Chains A and B, each alone.
Chain A
């Protein structure tokens, strides 16, 4: 990690440590922690990390933003920081200025499509949009006769059916019915919905990797405290081997996610096989790790980890929920498998070795 990435990530880390303590949040039924956290993040310029100064953001680099997201995952942050960052990034692709306040992106699934009509209005339905209910604006990617366009849309002009995802955060259905956007511009050449989904997938991968790092840490700590059969459970070989496997899953997720993020940082376009391999693989492998690693973290904790009072679910359930956003691992596996088959057997190793 470069020094500047460290500084931005450390700023985020400090805010999370001060204002997003998992224990405190877990016992705050009224959600009073939310506003101060969002305000501190905004003052630090983090939600619009990926928006340059002249478009209303703080102009951090892609790498700095990715580092923040990994830290956010470690704290299982339950405000739309990642979503606003991604929305700002999307708007920036079309040089649309970002407004203040919470944002999210529409669509958030490779299956959903938003269409641009000849009159300049947007229509379509997007399911599983994270934090739509809490967002003031949406960054929308839409297809029309003239190609892909990017738009800024006022959330109040859309119909939002509220839903709660696995992790307890909003995952809503957003319907646009001839909505006139606040701003709309053509997407850059070759920028398509796959590019947005790949970027979103890498964002979620970094968050999952972060949550697994946290699950490993709290599981190791718990095993060194909890006594059963007259010794710490960390001294049982079965528990040690489970934790070693959790470390392996956490390591795989971290390696896949940071590698994909690094690839995007250095890519001139999101439209090539290297980016596809890296980003799709990250989402697939991190999602698998969320299941396997999270399962071990729960096993180590026993019944206490299954209680609503314990903080483990804040990480384990969010990691599982994040699997579904911007294309599940099943979706990306099919797409990656098709790509590999289409390139042919003898081109598989050269593709893998090129990274």
Chain B
């Protein structure tokens, strides 16, 4: 067997707790001002551009990045606190979340200096929204089957093809996407894809929203027709995206958003059962709390190990695997227990509405950002089975 799994009992440092207070106070003010309703996670129309700017003004976007790009040079554990508090409050983070977590770090690593200087400070100010262009109509989990072509032209590339299931493409200012610059080789079927920075809202890009079973329009089809990308928008190695796409995924996989997506139904259930729950409710709540506590301890542990410069790749995949399965099952377990809630519980209607939405949301949780099947393949490789 390869090296044993590690989950060191890492605690968030003291300075995180001060930050947590600031985030809670800020969110309380936003709720009081009517920016969002923490009890209504289903508000689909709320992409909250002003909220995004105020979060940026607090210094909570790109907070781990170098100061010269607008960052704060703070630790990943501090970012962790901001992320989990926003998530638990059901804050409208859609506009900035992808840029902060994923796109910014990719730019930091692969973009030319003038692009970094242009875009990163704007991400930090909460001004720009990013999408990620990976899946295509005939390539989802099999990322390296992507066919959308980038053809060489004067000073850049012409893009033709279609990306799909692209979250936030309809509001995004930029997309980081992979396009095919060469055919795959016999030796390496992952060869031939290149990562590009794409400016949205330009001619040559057609964004078609796709309705989801929740009633929301969160993801899209994005059609490229002779869309021009200049040379300086290539991110990293030509034909070598496969080397980049698989690195740094640990951050993306193991954050608090990987088990807290439906957390609100647990809070609401606790409210509904009141101070003196019957044995069945108490037992059910106790188990769920033990499980979410354990998930969080695993997630914080991975964040701490990453901060310390370790590479807990398998551990991070495990966090996402069991975290997403847990948050998917949570609304169903809460529903089991909600059957015994008194008719007179004052928040009964809120709980029912939340359950309705969470149960509809649940199927996507083990699909988005890498399916359970793909994750288990990665874990299996880490265990020495592949």
Contact = CB atoms under 8 A, between A and B. Distances in A.
Interface of A: 1, 213, 216-217, 220-221, 223-224, 234-235, 237, 239-241, 243-245, 247-252, 254-256, 258-259, 261-263, 277-278, 280-282, 284-285, 288, 329-330, 332-338, 340-342, 344-346, 348-349, 352-353, 355
A345 B268 contact: yes
B310 interface: no
A285 to B, nearest CB: 4
A340 B285 contact: yes
Given A338-B277, A340-B286, A352-B296, 7 more contacts: A213-B5, A223-B385, A224-B384, A241-B377, A241-B380, A255-B294, A341-B282
A252 B7 CA distance: 9
Contact of A336 (B11, B281, B290): B290
B287 interface: yes
B1 A220 contact: yes
Interface in B221-277: 263, 266-268, 270-271, 273-277
B356 to A, nearest CB: 19
Contact of A352 (B8, B286, B289, B322): B289
Contacts of B85: 353
Interface of B: 1, 4-5, 7-9, 11, 20, 84-85, 88, 263, 266-268, 270-271, 273-277, 279, 281-287, 289-298, 301, 314-315, 318, 321-322, 373, 375-377, 379-380, 382-386
A216 B373 CA distance: 19
Nearest to B256: A353
Contact of B283 (A262, A288, A334, A344): A334
30 contacts: A240-B380, A241-B376, A241-B377, A243-B383, A244-B383, A247-B5, A247-B379, A249-B322, A251-B318, A255-B301, A256-B297, A259-B301, A277-B289, A278-B293, A282-B290, A285-B293, A330-B283, A332-B286, A332-B290, A336-B286, A336-B290, A337-B282, A338-B277, A341-B270, A341-B273, A341-B277, A341-B285, A352-B296, A355-B293, A355-B297
A245 B322 CA distance: 8
Contact of A243 (B8, B293, B380): B380
A213 B4 contact: yes
Contacts of A248: 318, 321-322, 379
Contacts of A243: 379-380, 383, 385
Contact of A244 (B267, B285, B376): B376
B283 A333 contact: yes
B380 A337 contact: no
A330 B286 CA distance: 9
B17 to A, nearest CB: 9
Contact of B267 (A245, A281, A348): A348
B347 to A, nearest CB: 9
B385 A240 contact: yes
Contacts of A249: 322
A255 B286 contact: no
Contacts of A281: 289-290, 293-294
A220 B384 contact: yes
A33 to B, nearest CB: 25
B296 A355 contact: yes
A333 B297 contact: no
A217 B4 CA distance: 9
